[in-house]
Amino acid sequence: MTRKQIKEQAARYAKFVEWSDEDQCFIGRCPEIMLGGIHGSDEARVYAELCQAVEEMIELIHNDGGELPEPLGGKKFSGKFIVRVEPALHRRLVAKALAAGESLNNFCAKKLAQA
């Protein structure tokens, strides 16, 4: 695999750089390709190092003969999923949704979007 092919492949994967109050630094992640993350005080540098780390992981996976995971951007999602919760939590969520004048689905979707 050429350097250009590796870069093209790496560009297909989602990369996130977020501030961590707990760690007091930026943390860059690419959960589709690697566990852990890149830490640092400069957001742009963390992103650049994250991109490099993803390229290195792709190269390692390729050299080991492994299969790369399908990027999330290429997957089709139905927009539906089932969440199993304790009955008491289910009851509280229904009560909170009713109090907000919303369906349980809309109430939960808004809460999930805030997460």
Residue found by looking up tokens 């109430």 in the block: 107
Q: Cα 94 to the chain's mean position, in Å?
A: 28
> Which amino acid is present at 17?
V
Q: Can you tell me the distance from the alpha carbon of 80 to that of 55, in angstroms, rounded to the nearest whole number?
A: 32
Q: Which domains does the chain have, with CATH numbers?
A: 3-73 (3.30.160.250), 78-114 (no CATH)
Nearest to 27 by CA among 54, 45, 9, 14: 45
Residue found by looking up tokens 């957001």 in the block: 43
Q: State the Rg of the chain over Cα.
A: 19
Tokens of 56: 């290195």
For residue range 48-104, what is the model confidence (pLDDT) as tens digits? Answer: 999 999 999 999 999 999 999 989 888 899 999 999 999 999 999 999 999 999 999
| pLDDT band, residue 35 (cuts 50/70/90) | confident
Q: Does the predicted TM-score (pTM) go above 0.85?
A: no
Give the pLDDT score at 73.
84
Average pLDDT, the chain: 94
Give the pLDDT score at 23.
95
